[in-house]
Chain A
């Protein structure tokens, strides 16, 4: 068990949750977390939003029963956390990079942005976010992104100048990632998508998060959550 350092409500039902402790993770990896057995049964998968020396940070949106329980947590509460799990975004990427995120899909992209800027100096990384309304985390992205475009209420995919990029990381609604893959395919861009699925074990054993790919069934938790866009769409 770990302790909650703080939980901060943001606009539009988004929350920032920090759990104390020393953690390691690659960009795109996730953890399984749960408040306690009385209020939640299964652990919930959450992508890493940020890592600090004294804790790990998740960005999530209150959408159902589990996230409602997490949203009601207080600092000092005990919380179960397992991970890191899964295959994240590739560390070796080529050329000019775009990160495209929609909704809570922006969480793993912030961690990717920070990691890429830290470990791959000299990379140009542009970020495109699609949100329903203005939110507090935009300024955090602005600290690291070479260029940041945030769009409210429209399709962010309509605002990405695809031809400029060699690599795209995306995470968000399936329709968004599908549209990006269509462009990526046409322009021969390396496109990596991070999928969100309901999970139980998180480690690749139970097969409830199976997704269909061009190479047959794959486990979102173990083979993913990051896949090549062309294998999924």
Chain B
């Protein structure tokens, strides 16, 4: 039954194309207490920076219609502490692990990637798209020139498969994807959260101390799907689709639009076992429709 969902992403073998998105799955420990997470295709670590970060003050989550805003601000233990205390756990799992690296300046990105590249990891996801970091009002992934610079410099220090996570707020997301490919990225993941806003009208105050926050969930899915469709046609490297996926039909849409694998984020909050549910439903779908392997539907929509 399992070979139905087996697929390849870049040169990495995946049991299935279902990957848990950064920031929604910790380092896997919490969900490992709830279900067998080795059933998953992969896990992306919480976003890591060179130095530890305490994250943002004030309210960090706000509900929207069919979605949520978050303003965590990349709270994380720093790359060194991660390598010592969390990476061994991720490595011990029989599931692909992808290490998400973020930064507020070029030097930090490069040093963090250099550090993680001395370890045995399956893939790096370079986060150039977090809207929640104050020091970095414009993420590297908004403009072509900064995106090119960070991917180029990181590529110099790592031979680990490198996936770049794009922002939907990019000036031209197709152009940025091409730039990443030109600079040697092995894959693209898209999209990160949208920069968004919420106001408490009763108190006439903004909800988040950091003013803007990242919008995720089903409300962004149609836009994410459009962006994946546009980008997948314009680059040769594989695309991982992200944005509001909550069930297997959503997964099918992203795969048909050209993504070779997908990430599940916010849906983990709605049902902690959603990964398991989606994998089972996908298997059933393929069996019922006499499709021998999930790869057969990838990119079938023009």
In the complex, which residues of chain B have a beta carbon less than 8 angstroms from the beta carbon of A80? 271
Instruction: Tell me whether A201 and B272 are in contact (CB under 8 A).
Output: yes
Within 8 A of A (CB), among B1-49: 23-26, 30-31, 33-34, 46
For chain A, which range describes its interface: under 10, 10 to 19, 20 to 34, or 35 or more residues? 20 to 34
Question: Is A199 part of the contact surface with B, judged by Cβ < 8 Å?
Answer: yes
Q: Which residue of B lies closest to A41 (CB)?
A: B63
Interface core residue of B33, B75, B269, B272 (most chain A CB under 10 Å): B269
Question: Is A206 part of the contact surface with B, judged by Cβ < 8 Å?
Answer: yes
In the complex, which residues of chain B have a beta carbon less than 8 angstroms from the beta carbon of A201? 24, 30, 268-269, 272
Question: Is B72 part of the contact surface with A, judged by Cβ < 8 Å?
Answer: yes
Interface of chain A, main secondary structure: loop
Instruction: Tell me whether B269 and A42 are in contact (CB under 8 A).
Output: yes
Question: Is B201 part of the contact surface with A, judged by Cβ < 8 Å?
Answer: no
- C-beta contact mask, B50-64 vs A, less than 8 Å → 1, else 0? 000011000111111
- C-beta contact mask, A130-172 vs B, less than 8 Å → 1, else 0? 0000000000000000000000000000000000000000000
In the complex, 29 of the A-B residue pairs with CB atoms within 8 angstroms, ordered by the A residue number, are A40-B63, A41-B64, A42-B61, A42-B269, A43-B269, A43-B270, A200-B70, A200-B266, A200-B269, A201-B30, A201-B269, A202-B269, A202-B272, A203-B31, A203-B33, A205-B24, A205-B25, A205-B268, A206-B24, A206-B26, A206-B61, A206-B72, A207-B46, A207-B60, A207-B75, A208-B70, A210-B55, A212-B54, A216-B54
Question: Is B137 part of the contact surface with A, judged by Cβ < 8 Å?
Answer: no
What is the CB-to-nearest-CB distance from B217 to chain A, in angstroms, rounded to a whole number? 7
Question: Is B92 part of the contact surface with A, judged by Cβ < 8 Å?
Answer: no
Question: Is A222 part of the contact surface with B, judged by Cβ < 8 Å?
Answer: yes
Question: Is A198 part of the contact surface with B, judged by Cβ < 8 Å?
Answer: yes
In the complex, which residues of chain A have a beta carbon less than 8 angstroms from the beta carbon of B272? 82, 201-203
Instruction: Tell me whether A208 and B61 are in contact (CB under 8 A).
Output: yes
Instruction: Tell me whether B66 and A41 are in contact (CB under 8 A).
Output: yes
Q: Which residue of B lies closest to A82 (CB)?
A: B272
Question: Is B65 part of the contact surface with A, judged by Cβ < 8 Å?
Answer: yes
In the complex, which residues of chain B have a beta carbon less than 8 angstroms from the beta carbon of A202? 269, 272
Instruction: Tell me whether A41 and B65 are in contact (CB under 8 A).
Output: yes
Apart from A198-B62, A200-B266, list 7 A-B contacts with CB within 8 A: A37-B270, A201-B272, A203-B272, A204-B26, A206-B23, A208-B60, A210-B60
Q: Which residue of B lies closest to A44 (CB)?
A: B63
Instruction: Tell me whether A65 and B63 are in contact (CB under 8 A).
Output: yes
Instruction: Tell me whether A205 and B26 are in contact (CB under 8 A).
Output: yes
- C-beta contact mask, A190-233 vs B, less than 8 Å → 1, else 0? 00000000111111111111101000110000100000000000
Question: Is A66 part of the contact surface with B, judged by Cβ < 8 Å?
Answer: yes
Option from A40, A43, A205, A216 in Cβ contact (under 8 Å) with B30:
A205
- C-beta contact mask, A36-80 vs B, less than 8 Å → 1, else 0? 010011110000000000000000000001100000000000001
Question: Is B184 part of the contact surface with A, judged by Cβ < 8 Å?
Answer: no
- C-beta contact mask, A65-107 vs B, less than 8 Å → 1, else 0? 1100000000000001010000000000000000000000000
Question: Is B68 part of the contact surface with A, judged by Cβ < 8 Å?
Answer: yes
In the complex, which residues of chain B have a beta carbon less than 8 angstroms from the beta carbon of A41? 63-68, 217, 270
Instruction: Tell me whether A203 and B55 are in contact (CB under 8 A).
Output: no
* A66-B63, A198-B60, A217-B75 known; A42+B26 contact, CB < 8 A: no
Instruction: Tell me whether B75 and A200 are in contact (CB under 8 A).
Output: no
A207 to B33, CA, bound (A): 17
